[in-house]
Amino acid sequence: MPVESADEIEEILEYETIAVVGCSSTPGKAAHDVPKYLLDHGYDVIPVNPFADEIFGREVYDSLTDVPDGIDVVCIFRPSGEVSEIVDAALERDDVRVIWTQQGIRDDEAAARAETEGRAVVQDRCMKVQHRRLAA
């Protein structure tokens, strides 16, 4: 079962390093504004986007495979049809503890695979909204 309880989400929000797949360089887009909010609130945000070189003054990686540093949470800002492939890439890494799909994004089959591999999954929820509600 994907994570639903406030206590579990609050626990996840204690992790520090978030790789944002689909991070945007365009202010005003949720895929830009949400990671910026997280960065401004002390999280180590790692932008992942094959079409950008730098976002928030940080190096951008083409894929999760290219990220050399440890990742606690993979936050996904891509269409639901792309989630399965991203989850597979996350599962190849030993360090990823949580898969989080943003509001309007879900893939129940990929979520089940991640949970079978021992990863927590949050689907169809905005990380910024949850942070404001539970941790701010």
We report the CATH number of the domain holding residue 117 as 3.40.50.720
Domain assignment present for residue 39? The answer is yes
Domain assignment present for residue 1? The answer is no
Domain assignment present for residue 18? The answer is yes
Report the mean per-residue pLDDT for the chain: 96
Q: Is the CB of residue 34 less than 8 Å from the CB of residue 128?
A: yes
pLDDT at 4 over 90: no
Boundaries of domain holding 117: 6-134
Q: Nearest to residue 76, comparing CAs of 134, 30, 14?
A: 30
Q: Is the CB of residue 63 less than 8 Å from the CB of residue 48?
A: yes
Check residue 136 and give its pLDDT.
Answer: 64
pLDDT at 64 over 90: yes
CA-CA distance, 3 to 39, in Å (whole number)?
Answer: 23
Domain assignment present for residue 62? The answer is yes
Instruction: Assign 1 a pLDDT band (cuts: 50, 70, 90).
Output: confident
Domain assignment present for residue 25? The answer is yes
